[in-house]
Structure 1
Amino acid sequence: MAKITVSAPGKLMLLGEHSVVYDRPCLVTAVDSRVHVQIKTTKVPTLTINAPEVEIKNYKRSITDFKPSKKLPRGVQFIEAVLQILYEKYKLNSGLSIRTRNGFSSKYGLGSSSAVSVCTAKGISELFNLKLSNQEIFEIAYQAVLEVQGVGSGFDVAAAIWGGTLYFETGGKVIEPLEIKKLPLIVVYSGVKADTATIVKKLAKMRTLKPNYVNSRFDLITKLVKKARDLIETKRWEELGELFNKNQKILHDLGVSTDILHKLCVTSILHGAEGAKLSGSGGGDCLIVMSANGHKHVIEQRLVEAGGTLVPVETGAKGVSIDEKSN
């Protein structure tokens, strides 16, 4: 029996959420809270999954039928979707036992499902000597994401694979690492878990009804993304914070922000932050705050008092990696 443990980072969207779904760029950074996936080959032709963070214990099914069950938590569906792609493409037939462990709560919206998909693809590649490149792993994991949730741009998959901070265009047409290690951010959970697929589909409907309005906002976001890329690499944090505020205003106009996110943004800026915005799909999840001027402790204290929960992560984390392997 061969065994491997693979880990991949979560992510934070910096600028460009929603517009990136429609052939536009975004900026994303990997965070040091990681998802870990252990995969073992077995002699029995079954798939066994244990995912305690989503209360899945000894889930079993035939190794010949990986079609994801909609009744299972998203993370498990992503595993099955990746396995279905790989087993069909490479004619694999070994039984598997898979165990997942999250270094962060899936409620934060930091991309745990995408990280699980990447870990699964990387682990299978290593166990069966498929020698998949990062680009091939991206294509497999991104295909799995689309099969499970129907929508997505792939930026979270890219962050899990390459790590660091990336300039990314829809579907991985462009994936370029930025020359920066860490960003002076405060990350805050709003207390509300968002459903990314639902919010993306809601905005898609709005775009169908008001194409000129929505597309013009997406074009404005694209300009912010391109300007922010240079600001990040030259560490011009105050100007970057201003772009955060502009991006947040657009997202608010598009209806994806919430009262609590707005409250946390205002609170952070009133107490010295250079800027603040939601990170991800909106509707809840996390807020990112630019704090490079020495007011971090005060800002954090006020955010907690306003109802936020601090999420202690570092940015620019390394991408997918093999933690342990044995034959």
Structure 2
Amino acid sequence: MKKSNVLVSAPGKLMLFGEHAVLYGNPCIVTAVDQRVYVNVEKVGGESIKINAPELKIDNYSIKVSDLGGVDYPKEVKFVLKAIEVFFKKYKIVSGLKIDTKSDFSSLFGFGSSSAVTVCMVKALSKIFDIEVDNKSLFDICFKVVLEVQGVGSGFDIAAAVWGGTIYFVRGGKVIKPLKISRLPLVVGYTGIKADTTTLVQKVAKLYKSHEKKIGEIFASIRVIVEKAKIALENTDYLKLGELMDENQKLLEDLSISSIELGSLTKAARRAGALGAKLSGAGGGDCMVALANKSKTAKIREAIEKSGGVIIDVKFNTEGVRIEK
């Protein structure tokens, strides 16, 4: 049923296993977190698209539909506008729109806000223009948007935003398998350093080019860890899961994408009783995760803070994209 106005939300993500290796065809495991992006889209007369995004300091930005694809977009709303461009072109639509966004995200943390806003935008457009889009089609459209903006990507953050929950994923959506998990007893610590994902991805790519055998072996080892972690998660085997987190962290250190700060926080968490700890995401800073028994959670949180980290309180395994109204 067509709607002239729709509010959609989608979650952020936290990578659990398989960083960087996922870009080379290996699987990863990602979970949706309860920090969400909200996008309200209204169909209006004329052929102008107006965007308000207060958190990004975008106030009544306007562009004509005829200019989509022909001008450089402001970086703050690049994913929103590219999503509209791709959707309108695919379904041969011309329409005015009024768009308002808000977010639970801090721009500091790498929780995947660009992918979440892309998913919200495409989902909202499908409702407004009464076009049936299932989850896989939604993923495919959004993945195209992200590739056109960034030039590279695996799509795991899009999958988390679309399906929610905790997902076993292979690049480009070749495999998207939601895992049956009741809870994830994790503590998230922020290093205080915003990660530069593009630079880190390029760094690993250069390493792979110059040391293909060695880096290929690291990726193969990460792949084995991901497969074991999938089983451990489904069996609620937290002892095994913690061991695998530590193994994954060591391999990420071998890729030279950890940092002094990440190392400090993961070691502090382990000393305080964490079952395992690793960086989460591209590395270089940003966040780490520790697996915590309930009895040790407070000590682990305290240890991370004493080592200079900031605790990020989020819930995991949360709902995917949804229509709010």
TM-score by length of structure 1 reads 0.96
Distance, in Å, in 2 between the alignment partners of 1:112 and 1:70 is 20
Distance, in Å, in 2 between the alignment partners of 1:125 and 1:141 is 12
Distance, in Å, in 2 between the alignment partners of 1:135 and 1:155 is 13
Distance, in Å, in 2 between the alignment partners of 1:149 and 1:85 is 14
Look up the equivalent residue of 1:66 and give its one-letter code: L
Distance, in Å, in 2 between the alignment partners of 1:271 and 1:73 is 41
**What corresponds to 1:252 in structure 2?**
253
What SS is found at the alignment partner of 1:106?
A: coil
Distance, in Å, in 2 between the alignment partners of 1:66 and 1:287 is 38
Look up the equivalent residue of 2:49 and give its one-letter code: L
Look up the equivalent residue of 1:106 and give its one-letter code: S
What SS is found at the alignment partner of 1:122?
A: helix
Once the two structures are overlaid, the 10-residue window that deviates more, 256-265 or 41-50, is 41-50
**Structure 1 portions without partners, runs of 5+:** none
**What corresponds to 1:58 in structure 2?**
60
**What corresponds to 2:184 in structure 1?**
183
Whether the 8 Å CA contact 2:185–2:294 is kept in 1: the answer is no
Whether the 8 Å CA contact 1:151–1:197 is kept in 2: the answer is no
Distance, in Å, in 2 between the alignment partners of 1:20 and 1:148 is 19
Look up the equivalent residue of 1:155 and give its one-letter code: F
**Structure 2 portions without partners, runs of 5+:** none
Distance, in Å, in 2 between the alignment partners of 1:145 and 1:18 is 17
**What corresponds to 1:34 in structure 2?**
36
Structure 1 residues 293 and 119: alpha-carbon distance in aligned structure 2, compared to 1, 3 A threshold: same
Count matched residues: 323
Mapping for residues 1-327 of structure 1, pairs under 5 Å: 2-67=4-69, 72-74=74-76, 76-324=77-325
Look up the equivalent residue of 1:34 and give its one-letter code: R
Distance, in Å, in 1 between the alignment partners of 2:70 and 2:16 is 31
1:293 deviation in Å?
4.8
Whether the 8 Å CA contact 1:63–1:95 is kept in 2: the answer is yes
Structure 1 residues 49 and 226: alpha-carbon distance in aligned structure 2, compared to 1, 3 A threshold: same
Whether the 8 Å CA contact 1:165–1:181 is kept in 2: the answer is no
Distance, in Å, in 2 between the alignment partners of 1:72 and 1:111 is 18
Distance, in Å, in 1 between the alignment partners of 2:175 and 2:263 is 32
1:205 deviation in Å?
1.4
Whether the 8 Å CA contact 1:67–1:84 is kept in 2: the answer is yes
Distance, in Å, in 2 between the alignment partners of 1:208 and 1:168 is 24
1:143 deviation in Å?
0.8
Distance, in Å, in 2 between the alignment partners of 1:5 and 1:273 is 40
Look up the equivalent residue of 1:52 and give its one-letter code: P
What SS is found at the alignment partner of 1:250?
A: helix
1:69 deviation in Å?
6.1
Distance, in Å, in 2 between the alignment partners of 1:52 and 1:182 is 34
Distance, in Å, in 2 between the alignment partners of 1:116 and 1:162 is 14
Look up the equivalent residue of 1:141 and give its one-letter code: C
Look up the equivalent residue of 1:245 and give its one-letter code: D
Structure 1 residues 99 and 289: alpha-carbon distance in aligned structure 2, compared to 1, 3 A threshold: same
1:234 deviation in Å?
0.8
Whether the 8 Å CA contact 1:68–1:78 is kept in 2: the answer is no
Once the two structures are overlaid, the 10-residue window that deviates more, 1-10 or 244-253, is 1-10
Look up the equivalent residue of 1:113 and give its one-letter code: S
Q: RMSD of aligned C-alpha atoms?
A: 1.3
Structure 1 residues 144 and 3: alpha-carbon distance in aligned structure 2, compared to 1, 3 A threshold: same
Distance, in Å, in 2 between the alignment partners of 1:167 and 1:99 is 32
Structure 1 residues 285 and 102: alpha-carbon distance in aligned structure 2, compared to 1, 3 A threshold: same
Look up the equivalent residue of 1:147 and give its one-letter code: E
1:72 deviation in Å?
2.2
C-alpha offsets along residues 162-200 of structure 1, whole Å, 9 cap, x if unaligned?
000011011100001111032000011111111212211
Whether the 8 Å CA contact 1:69–1:77 is kept in 2: the answer is no
1:110 deviation in Å?
0.5
What SS is found at the alignment partner of 1:110?
A: coil
TM-score by length of structure 2 reads 0.97
Task: Report the identity percentage.
Answer: 45
